[in-house]
Amino acid sequence: MDIEQLLSNVTPEVFERLSYAVETGKWPEGTPLTPEQRDNAMQLVMLYQSRHNTDPQHMSVAAGGDIKLKSKAELKREFAAGQDTIVQTKLDDA
């Protein structure tokens, strides 16, 4: 199977399982990865990201294959932009 065929069979759900496995060293059901499985899963995750990751997070592979490094200021802006105030109260100084 060539790379294009392999990537065409990777669904977002499969990608999430592979990402979890690479991050934790085990499959979602708890079975540990072998070193070979970890290496292969990591390569596939990076390859998938290089084709489909249009909103890369800090230290991830962006669409096109570039590694995206976000500055601390960029990360703070993104985090602050996603925050909505749910409840705001004033505390008494007693």
Q: Which of 5-9, 75-79, 88-92 has the highest mean pLDDT?
A: 5-9
Is the backbone of residue 59 left (phi > 0), alpha (psi -120 to 50) or beta?
A: left
Q: Does pLDDT of 14 surpass 70?
A: yes
Q: Please, which contacts does 23-28 make with residues 24 or more away whose CB atoms are closer than 8 Å?
A: none
pLDDT mean over 51-74: 67
The predicted model scores a pTM of: 0.57
